[in-house]
Amino acid sequence: MTRYRFHCTNGSECILDAEGTLLRGPAALARHARAVAEAAMRSLGAGAGDWAEWRVSVHDLTGRRVWVEPFVTQDLSRHEAALAA
């Protein structure tokens, strides 16, 4: 397993992941990046503005970027609808 840091940014604002998460494989990176994006959107709320420019930038412990996942607001809406059902 490898530790990765999941930083969120829109190019001018950042949410930094100082601790990181231990994961195995690219599929786990993508899943966790989507979960990080959803958690950021929930915690910052709808008043935070447009999420279209936000990305989760995943880095290994050397600082090398290994994955970029855009925030996808319709996925959050579907997920919340499924939880409400």
At a CB cut-off of 8 Å and minimum separation 6, what does 16 contact?
Answer: 5, 7
pTM > 0.85: yes or no: no
Find, among 56, 73, 40, 52, the residue nearest to 4 by Cα.
56
Query: pLDDT tens digits for 54-76?
Result: 999 999 999 999 999 999 765 44
Query: pLDDT tens digits for 9-33?
Result: 999 999 999 999 999 988 899 999 9
Q: How many residues does the chain have?
A: 85
